[in-house]
């Protein structure tokens, strides 16, 4: 495998102080590759970019869910109070509680929500963990299907076997490896191109199908898939009809209603590098939106003291057509 190119440069005071390599792909509306960088056909762990695919498996198992709670099950929430209340509602609907989640306890991803928990004398919680919506959805799907819930994270559990098949179907690839995600759920390695292909299939599926229900829920309730102060929310608000899902270790994936899609994986896992590449991919496949928002996300500012001193931005010539 050759070394992936530098996709993002971190420039401070006119000096490039850091560089992030990675692979990326942008698909045209017809599914052909419009733009790429590095080796997007090499398998990676999508991390939480898996979640919309996992949500499809939940619906196929019999989970009757739509709207904000489906968006929550397909997302990585910020641990804000309304997210926690949503997870509790979903669990209560099938007679379960926080003790059944089996995901790690964590602080909220949202800094303000974390500060509020501290001010209130609280601490880490499984409910605040960003994957708790997915875990609640998986548990509810198991109840709907009549499957056991105490071992639902086992790769051989019927839900996880079904999920692996859904990931293979949507990506068009047999997973190259099975691992364990940070939340404890099984994780499937597929290519960056496969991730983009899967997101494209979500938005192009027929109305009422599990795939389209997930896409529609994410579009209608983007604050439930991420949070009120997240880059994914800003992207979905800036580009009408877009779905976006990030994953740990520098993964991003998106798709527009007409089938244009893309994905990125940053080799060193730097989360700060993914969004500038995502914006570059959006623009490379011809997706426009609120230019001011996209410009800000394309080159997040660095500061020296209180004044701007540089930015994190796409490297010149990083994307190949």
The ranges assigned to domains in the chain are 6-314
Q: Any idea how long the chain is? A: 321
What percentage of the chain has pLDDT greater than the value 70? 99
For the stretch 21-68, pLDDT in tens is 999 999 999 999 999 999 999 999 999 999 999 999 999 999 999 999
Is 320's pLDDT higher than 80? no
Which band of pLDDT confidence, cut at 50, 70 and 90, is reported for residue 1?
low
Task: Tell me the pLDDT tens digit for each residue of 126-158.
Answer: 999 999 999 999 999 999 999 999 999 999 999
- CB-neighbour burial class of residue 64 (10 A; exposed 0-12, middle 13-18, buried 19+): exposed
Spatial CA neighbour of 277 closest among 79, 107, 37: 37
- 318: which DSSP letter? -
- Tell me the per-residue pLDDT of 241-261, one tens digit each, with 9 for 90 and over: 999 999 999 999 999 999 999
The CB density around residue 212, as the number of other CB atoms within 10 Å, is: 17
Quickly name the fold that domain 6-314 has.
Beta-lactamase (3.40.710)
Asked whether the beta carbons of 9 and 270 are under 8 A apart, the reply is: no
- Dihedrals phi, psi of 10, to nearest 5 degrees: -105, 110
Average per-residue pLDDT for the chain: 97
Instruction: Kindly report the pTM of this predicted structure.
Output: 0.96
């Amino acid at each position: 495998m050759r070394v992936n190119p530098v996709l993002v440069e971190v420039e401070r005071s006119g000096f490039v102080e850091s560089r992030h390599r990675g692979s990326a792909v942008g698909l045209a509306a017809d599914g052909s590759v419009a733009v790429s960088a590095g080796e997007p056909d090499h398998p990676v762990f999508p991390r939480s970019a898996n979640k919309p695919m996992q949500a499809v498996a939940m619906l196929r198992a019999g989970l009757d869910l739509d709207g904000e709670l489906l968006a929550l099950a397909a997302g990585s929430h910020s641990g804000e109070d309304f997210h926690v209340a949503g997870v509790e509602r979903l669990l209560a609907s099938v007679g379960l509680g926080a003790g059944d989640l089996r995901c790690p306890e964590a602080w909220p991803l949202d800094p303000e929500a974390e500060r509020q928990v501290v001010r209130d004398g609280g601490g880490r919680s499984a409910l605040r963990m960003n994957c708790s919506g997915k875990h609640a959805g998986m548990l509810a799907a198991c109840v709907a299907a009549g499957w056991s819930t105490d071992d639902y994270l086992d790769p051989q559990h019927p839900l996880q076997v079904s999920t692996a098949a859904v990931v293979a179907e949507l990506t068009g690839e047999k997973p190259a490896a099975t691992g364990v995600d940070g939340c404890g759920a099984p994780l499937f390695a597929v290519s960056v191109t496969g991730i983009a292909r899967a997101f494209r299939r979500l938005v192009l599926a027929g109305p009422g199908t599990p795939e389209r229900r997930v896409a529609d829920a994410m579009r209608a309730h983007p604050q439930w898939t991420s949070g009120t102060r997240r880059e994914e929310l800003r992207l979905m608000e800036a580009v009408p009809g877009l779905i976006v899902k990030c994953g740990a270790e520098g993964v991003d994936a998106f798709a527009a209603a007409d089938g244009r899609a893309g994905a990125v994986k940053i080799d060193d896992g730097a989360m700060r590098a993914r969004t500038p590449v995502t914006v570059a991919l959006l623009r490379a496949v011809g997706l426009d939106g609120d230019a001011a928002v996209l410009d800000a996300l394309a080159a997040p500012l660095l500061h020296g003291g209180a004044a701007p001193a540089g930015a994190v931005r796409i490297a010149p010539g990083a994307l190949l057509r």
